[in-house]
Structure 1
Amino acid sequence: MSLLIKGAILATNPEVGPTDLLIDEGVISGIGQIRTADQIVEAYGNIIFPGFIDAHTHLDMDTGKAHTSDDFYTGTKAALVGGTTTIIDFATQEKGESLMDAIKVWHQKANGKSCTDYGFHLAITDWNEQTGKEMLFIKDIGVTSFKVYMAYDALRVSDDILFEILQAVDHIGGIVGCHCENGDLVKVLTQAQKDSGHFGPRAHAASRPDIVESEAIGRFLDIAYLAGTPVHIVHLSTQKGLEAIERAKERGQIVYVETCPQYLILDEHAYQLKEFESAKYVLSPPLRTKQDQQALWQGIHTGLIQTISTDHCAFNFATQKRQGLADFSEIPNGIPGIEHRPQLIYTYGVDKGHISLKQMAELLSTKTAKLFGLYPAKGTIEVGSDADLVIWNPNYETKLSSTTQVQSVDYTPYEGLCVKGRAEYVFLRGEQVVKEGKVINERKGQYLFRGPSGNIE
């Protein structure tokens, strides 16, 4: 059955004016002035975005201190409400576990539960001769992006191993993303806060100053320079980190950069709240200064930052975050965001004049699809592409609240913020899954076999 969406503005090409889209068998089959179809959706006055892609989520994940409150059902349902039709989650290898087994575990978590299409990055924590041999098989099952950590003892790899991983991933046409924080400095500075009698959540930010990020970014980029490989910086939060990236690009390196809404909208004042409230904002990297915010928006404007994902890692405040009531280092690290990203970026990006509609489509969809081997099936509005489409109502206004959200967590770090616009209707491979801001079809997500990663052009 054919479906015709009539009269919306294409975010990817807004200058052409109101346009019609024809959908057949789950893909876009026509763009232009189209008269009729089996089913017609009137979209005049609205904007059509390609389905948004969130390439940084942590669903159904055990950190050793707590288990994330959103699994693949609740998390992707929340994503869908916001207009996100694809996620890429981090399948994390446990010490002693094979890479293939890690992927199998994450398939079990997602299969039959996900409301969005989904893929996996593979976080490598235990590199040895055997895991090195597995890399070709990992490519064959559609995983072409990887992650390494420079912090957290249970996750991080040494610089020499990092060098080996970069070369191995490049050999299979993949890319490595990195959590860039100097883990040794974090440990020393965390203990220094405690020795000074600082055990509350505001000490979290003090234990992770901006130089902890920028040093790690610089070192990671130096290692990548020696390895001769393109790389991906995840959740960039600081001006100093951006400056390290600029220096690397000036010497000819290929560096792709992601930031997140929290670093563009929230700031360090969140750590000055009364009592234990600031624990809601304990995440790594922590929130930064308004100057850092401005630098990141400028980085988006100049193209140094290409994508915006969420790092959605949700823990309930009333129970899980309170594990660190007596010691900030025991507070589970992470905040929710998978549901509200599009509204936040539309409000604080498009509506405030930082970015255009087309740039929003690129930052939240197109460039992510290109970087991670999903384009042109995902991330664009073209004939032959999957009909993952968001009909966006630009006139809708609301206040964000934990009482009305879908994500399975008892707070939102954006509580009370006024936002504009919403995903009025959402289509996943041509099937309507959201109507008037409500999910009407669940668990329709499919695993995505991805091609080579690491080229955004």
Structure 2
Amino acid sequence: MSLLIKNGTVINAEETRQADVYCENGLIKAIGHDLDVPENTEIIDAAGQYIMPGGIDPHTHMQLPFMGTVATDDFYTGTAAGLAGGTTMIIDFVIPAPGENLLDAYNKWMEWAQKAAGDYSFHVAITWWDETVSADMETLVRDHGVNSFKHFMAYKNAIMADDEILINSFSRSLELGAIPTVHAENGELVFNLQQEMMDRGITGPEGHALSRPPQVEGEAVNRALRIAEVLKVPIYVVHNSCKEALDEITRARSQGQRVFGEVLASHLLVDETVYQNEDWETAAAHVMSPPFRSSEHQDALWKGLQSGNLHTTATDHCCFCAEQKAAGKDDFRLIPNGTAGVENRMEALWTHGVNKGRLTMNEFVKVTSTNAAQIFNIYPRKGSVSKGADADIVIWDPKAKKTISAKTHHQNVDFNVLEGMEVTGIPSHTISAGKVVYANGELKAVKGAGKYVNRPPFADYFEAQRLQTESTKPVAVKRK
């Protein structure tokens, strides 16, 4: 199977150039002009369009069992929706219940993911600790291509990781060449504030945001970064939603700490007034953690992307329909947390980033694919239109327009937090493993076509850190 994309402009993180791209057997085989290709090659004319790496969403939750229900997008519908929006790979999350064997949970998620239409990989959450967890982490890194472990600092009495778990897991990650990631909210404070809201009679979705003010996020980010600083392990902070979180990342990076920050497209574009909507279902549909913030935080997050202190854009795609959200009709604490976004991330970021002068086209590629590929050690296989890379490509029409709506999206959910947004700049074609899976509005996703992507450990960097740590370890003073 061969494919030639002609007459387009190749946009990579580091360069822009006019070139044709030839793909064969799932890989990019040649880039240039007047390429010699077989007679039966499929040809796409990309005149006036951009040829970019397929998007990588490093934060999704397909088919997630959560808060007494299950997310409505499974690994087929969710990845298919991603393909329609130019995202060719996701990194999802294996989340063991406290006490559940990590490998058993990993195998369960792998079975669910066999139906994926696009490529996928997994972070694995550490929700409890003993020596079997430590051993399973090694097996996951060594044998299953996992190089990142997730820690929820929120959700007390469920999956929250306390400081003891963070220290044990961060230390083990350093030994294994894996990177710890954190959902940073102070779970104890949230728990206390949730009860305070209920005691005051605030039971609606507005109570969700009021119980998770920016300070609980800023404190948790600072704590996670300080622990990582002491242990000398790099760290990745997911879905930063506020200035307080960004300020801690900026401070740490300015002091030379290896910190990576993620921001959700929706946190850049949706503000906290949604929780004041008089329609309960609409307000509840926006319940996610961390919650949406005021415009001052959105401005700060955009500047974080522009300055390079935030590195990746994601969605935290986790869909729940109105009837599922209704479980919290009388108690906001019972509203399943999650919103959609995997289909609309790239077009929304192009419209409000590139078209408004906040991001260059090359920076857009960085924050939608290349940085994630580099941070999670799959570059240049992913995140690059280059010879030898996987043929995961989006052909981008910068002049095409559409209006985002739940009535027309491919996501398996009845609400879209970007409902009614008109975007300019959308995919005309998405290519996954060298095959056209979306073309001019027609989705051609194939169930089970997606492949698991192994992510090797960061051997060189982490070994250097380990050796440095060994050389600077304090020694006991010898006294007479």
State the TM-score, normalizing by the size of structure 1. 0.97
Give the conservation status (yes or no) of the 8 Å contact 2:264–2:315.
yes
Does the alignment pair 1:302 with 2:304? no
Letter paired with 2:133: T
- CA displacement 1:47-79 (0-9 Å, x = unmatched): 111010011000111113221011101111101
Aligned to 1:446: 451
CA offset at residue 15 of structure 1?
6.6
My pick for the range that moved more, 364-373 or 18-27, is 18-27
Whole-Å separation in 1 of the counterparts to 2:430 and 2:408: 19
Letter paired with 1:75: G
Q: 2:297 aligns with which of 292, 302, 305?
A: 292
CA offset at residue 409 of structure 1?
0.3
Unaligned ranges ≥5, structure 2: 462-480
CA offset at residue 14 of structure 1?
8.9
Aligned to 1:10: 10
Whole-Å separation in 2 of the counterparts to 1:14 and 1:449: 25
Aligned to 1:119: 121
Give the conservation status (yes or no) of the 8 Å contact 1:372–1:454.
no
Q: SS in structure 2 opposite 1:305?
A: coil
Give the conservation status (yes or no) of the 8 Å contact 1:4–1:36.
no
Q: SS in structure 1 opposite 2:70?
A: coil
Alignment of 1:169-208 (within 5 A): 169-208=173-212
Aligned to 1:24: 24
Give the conservation status (yes or no) of the 8 Å contact 1:13–1:358.
yes
Q: 4+ runs of 1 displaced by more than 3 Å?
A: 13-17, 453-456
Q: SS in structure 1 opposite 2:92?
A: strand
CA offset at residue 437 of structure 1?
2.6
Alignment of 1:31-430 (within 5 A): 31-37=31-37, 38-111=41-114, 113-139=115-141, 140-153=143-156, 154-276=158-280, 277-317=282-322, 319-430=323-434
- CA displacement 1:255-277 (0-9 Å, x = unmatched): 00000011110111111211302
Whole-Å separation in 1 of the counterparts to 2:426 and 2:202: 41
CA offset at residue 17 of structure 1?
4.2
- CA displacement 1:389-418 (0-9 Å, x = unmatched): 101111111111111010100010111111
Whole-Å separation in 2 of the counterparts to 1:16 and 1:295: 28
Change (3 A) 1:43 1:410: same
Give the conservation status (yes or no) of the 8 Å contact 1:145–1:176.
yes
CA offset at residue 16 of structure 1?
4.8
My pick for the range that moved more, 227-236 or 273-282, is 273-282
Whole-Å separation in 1 of the counterparts to 2:130 and 2:256: 31
Higher gyration radius (CA): 2
Letter paired with 1:117: D
My pick for the range that moved more, 397-406 or 23-32, is 23-32
My pick for the range that moved more, 303-312 or 89-98, is 89-98
Whole-Å separation in 2 of the counterparts to 1:132 and 1:203: 38
- Identity score, percent: 40
Whole-Å separation in 2 of the counterparts to 1:455 and 1:269: 47
State the TM-score, normalizing by the size of structure 2. 0.92
Letter paired with 2:140: I
Letter paired with 2:99: G
My pick for the range that moved more, 63-72 or 12-21, is 12-21
Unaligned ranges ≥5, structure 1: none
